Amino acid sequence: MRKQIAAANWKMNLTYQQGETLTDELLDNEYSLKENHEVVFGVPFPYLGMVAGKTANKKGFYVAAQNCSNKKSGAYTGETSVEMLSSLHIQYVIIGHSERREYFNESDQMLAEKVNLALDFGLTPIFCCGEPLAIREAENQNEFVEVQLQESLFHLSAEQLKKIVIAYEPIWAIGTGKTASSQQAQEMHAHLRSVLAAKFTNEVADEISILYGGSVKAANAVEIFGMPDVDGGLVGGASLVAAEFAAIIRALK
């Protein structure tokens, strides 16, 4: 059974104290998580240890870094390696978010290097893909996203690929309040799964969790997560409000 995941991406928001309060509020709730449900807190680097400590004994709760270096170690001032994350017992790392691709010029090749390092050190990459508005308007989104997978994931073995989580985040839906319709999300997720099935196997494609991201809220999570190929969400703005994200966790199918 595929994992169903509610992942928070706090991005560059909240002070340490606000992050602590939000984590405590979320962990105080009751969720009745199923065996295949996971909750992931994607928090800023300085808060990783704090959130990892609070979630350590909570079944089904994990922590993600929002980025990692594409270098293993060495003289790269200001960078954070996956080995450092692994030594903090961080289980997930978000790789290739559109904000990193766009504002920090992260190339497909660089993302492939990050994916390799994450897998080498036992972290699960949450690999992000998604098209900008102009590509959607030209109806080229399927090809665009397919190339993103090809360039950063297709060098992996089937065994490696099975360890990856994919997040489809159409850029036009991020932080805009304009979510993809559940139908649009389903169509793209089914497309991504068929691309993976063609390159690897149906069995491998069936095992990969594909999250939707882009203006997920408590009010639309049940409908979006209810689609057959949507395995939860990667949530920005709504993950900063305890009651909202708690409801999103409860929306996992």
Size of the site for ligand 13P (CB under 6 A): 14
Min CB(154)–ligand 13P separation in Å: 23
Could you give the CA distance from residue 121 to residue 246 in angstroms, rounded to a whole number? 30
Nearer to ligand 13P, 208 or 218 (CB): 218
Options 19-27, 30-38, 155-163, 169-177: segment touching ligand 13P (CB under 6 A): 169-177
Q: What amino acid occupies position 108? A: D
Options 27-35, 48-56, 71-79, 236-244: segment touching ligand 13P (CB under 6 A): 236-244
**From the candidates 38, 106, 131, 169, which is the catalytic residue?**
169
Nearer to ligand 13P, 158 or 241 (CB): 241
Q: Binders of ligand 13P among 95-114, rule CB under 6 A? A: 97
237 contributes a contact to ligand 13P by CB under 6 A: yes
Q: Contact with ligand 13P (CB under 6 A): which of 39, 156, 234, 246?
A: 234
Options 49-57, 137-145, 220-228, 233-241: segment touching ligand 13P (CB under 6 A): 233-241
Give the contacts of 30 (CB within 8 A, at least 6 positions apart). none
Could you give the CA distance from residue 52 to residue 50 in angstroms, rounded to a whole number? 5
49 contributes a contact to ligand 13P by CB under 6 A: no
Q: 211 - beta bridge partners?
A: 167
Min CB(95)–ligand 13P separation in Å: 12
Options 80-88, 132-140, 156-164, 229-237: segment touching ligand 13P (CB under 6 A): 229-237
Map tokens 């966790």 to a residue: 249
Could you give the CA distance from residue 253 to residue 251 in angstroms, rounded to a whole number? 6
37 is catalytic: no
Using CB under 6 A as the criterion, what x/- string covers residues 194-223 for binding ligand 13P? -------------------xxxx-------
**Burial per residue of 189-209, b for 16 or more beta-carbon CB atoms within 10 angstroms, e otherwise:** bebbbebbeebbeeebbebbb
The residue sitting closest to ligand 13P, measured at its beta carbon, is 236
Q: What is the DSSP letter of 4?
A: E
Cα three-residue angle 93-210-196, rounded to 5 degrees = 105
Nearer to ligand 13P, 38 or 169 (CB): 169
Question: What 3-state class would DSSP assign to 8?
Answer: strand
Nearest to 143 by CA among 195, 98, 180, 181: 195
97 is catalytic: yes
* DSSP count for the chain of H helices, then E strands: 12, 8
Contacting positions for ligand 13P (CB under 6 A): 9, 97, 169, 174-175, 213-216, 234-238
Q: So which residues are the catalytic ones?
A: 97, 169
